[in-house]
Amino acid sequence: MQKVAIHLIIAARPNIMKVAPLYHQLIKSTWAIPILVHTGQHYDDNMSGTFLRTLNMPEPSFHLNVSGGTNAYQTGQTMIAYDELCQKNKPDLTIVVGDVNATIACALTAKKRGIPVGHVEAGLRSFDPTMPEEINRLATDSISDWYWTPSVDATKRLQKEGVENKKIVEVGNLMIDSFCLMQNEIMKNKITETLQLMNKDYGVVTFHRPANVDSSNQLEKIVNEVIKISGALKLVFPVHPRTKKRLIEFKLYDKLATSENILLIEPQPYLAFMNLVRTAKVIITDSGGIQEETTYIGVPCLTLRENTERPVTITLGTNQLVSVDTVYDKVKATLMAPSPKKCFIPGWDGKASERLFQHLEQIFAEKLK
């Protein structure tokens, strides 16, 4: 039987949680050969390898080894490296996920080689053109062949932008699939014990977006607010490599590290991080994925951004946008309010990868006859 070769592109930490459930669907099938391609954007073991192992993924078949540098460098080098790979090893389909630099780099490269492209998490928009991720989303969604959306707002956005209906399938949220798959392991994880947080009130802080960390002025304001909040609530802060670099460069790292009620820790493996989130009183973040995970679990999320490409987490979930000027008051208000209930968003049910897999079967039905 003829088989279909599918490249699954992973680059940065959150991509792995979105690709893993689909990889497991494809590897079980009789007709697909899923091929993992790691572009190298996140290269530290604690940003990549540990996530692959936890989610029972094999070592990627190909490593493009593109890391560091500017957005243009990352995008350009990834295009060159992926083009060389496609020349030797042309797949029947390239699947890209999310909004990172490798998403647009590999989508563009595949298209120019005549390879169809599918985009997981299509249709999200922050309407903030200063974010590199927004440019990546817009550009990827202007050239994809298949659009797999996580929620109805994303589907409607693509329709409004003129994407043909037959190319859009609202499969739901693949990141929630990973959470559902690993839920038991997440519950068993011992991180709260290790950090002596069992049965204690604490918050989790994470941020890494260029708008928050690349300007010393903004980063200093955030650091001051975090310290102020730690007067009211113990805070655990897994520091992203970009953030660490900037904190050290702007001489703010020690200020945080010496604050009594703040626990600065390394980026955490998936199970440990989700375990921490699960029993936190509040999460303060600028991450995209965490806005979704907190909504699914029912933990209050304060997003330190002016906008979100995931509005459904606000309208139906536990998410609120905050600024450096409002975050302290919002934390106080959150601590006083009753805990939110677990929210239900259509398609966030642990079955998104199954729906995507069924769509892939339809796409390749002719070829597989």
Please identify every residue annotated as catalytic.
208
E strands present in the chain: 4-10, 32-38, 62-63, 93-97, 117-120, 146-149, 168-170, 202-206, 234-238, 262-265, 282-285, 301-303, 319-321
Residue 363 phi/psi, 5° resolution? Answer: -60, -40
> Is 75 among the residues that bind ligand UD1 (CB under 6 A)?
no
> Is 268 among the residues that bind ligand UD1 (CB under 6 A)?
no
Q: Of 313 and 334, which CB lies nearer to ligand UD1 in the complex structure?
A: 313
Q: How far is the CB of 126 from ligand UD1 (least distance, A)?
A: 11
Q: How far is the CB of 318 from ligand UD1 (least distance, A)?
A: 19
> Is 208 among the residues that bind ligand UD1 (CB under 6 A)?
yes
> Is 241 among the residues that bind ligand UD1 (CB under 6 A)?
yes
Footprint of ligand UD1 on 304-343 (CB under 6 A) = none
Q: Would you say 294 and 277 are in contact if contact means Cβ atoms under 8 Å apart?
A: yes
Alpha helices (H) in 196-302, listed in sequence order: 210-213, 216-230, 241-249, 253-257, 270-278, 288-297
Q: Would you say 262 and 256 are in contact if contact means Cβ atoms under 8 Å apart?
A: yes
> Is 101 among the residues that bind ligand UD1 (CB under 6 A)?
yes
Q: Would you say 348 and 173 are in contact if contact means Cβ atoms under 8 Å apart?
A: yes
> Is 43 among the residues that bind ligand UD1 (CB under 6 A)?
yes
Count of residues binding ligand UD1 (CB under 6 A)? 22
Q: Of 150 and 288, which CB lies nearer to ligand UD1 in the complex structure?
A: 288
Footprint of ligand UD1 on 274-293 (CB under 6 A) = 287-288
> Is 242 among the residues that bind ligand UD1 (CB under 6 A)?
yes
> Is 219 among the residues that bind ligand UD1 (CB under 6 A)?
no
Q: For the residues of 43-85, what is the DSSP string, one character each?
A: -SGGGTHHHHHHTTPPPPSEE----SS-HHHHHHHHHHHHHHH
Distances (CA, A) of 26 to 6, 8, 21, 194, 256: 9, 11, 9, 37, 45
Q: Of 47 and 264, which CB lies nearer to ligand UD1 in the complex structure?
A: 47
> Is 346 among the residues that bind ligand UD1 (CB under 6 A)?
no
> Is 154 among the residues that bind ligand UD1 (CB under 6 A)?
no
> Is 70 among the residues that bind ligand UD1 (CB under 6 A)?
no
Q: Would you say 204 and 236 are in contact if contact means Cβ atoms under 8 Å apart?
A: yes
> Is 269 among the residues that bind ligand UD1 (CB under 6 A)?
no
Structure tokens at 362: 């339809």
Q: Give the amino acid at 20.
A: A
Of positions 29, 61, 67, 307, contacts ligand UD1 by CB under 6 A: 67
Footprint of ligand UD1 on 13-42 (CB under 6 A) = 13-14, 41-42
Give the three-class secondary structure for 359: helix
Residues at the contact surface with ligand UD1, assessed by CB under 6 A: 12-14, 41-44, 47, 67-68, 71, 99-101, 132-133, 208, 241-242, 245, 287-288
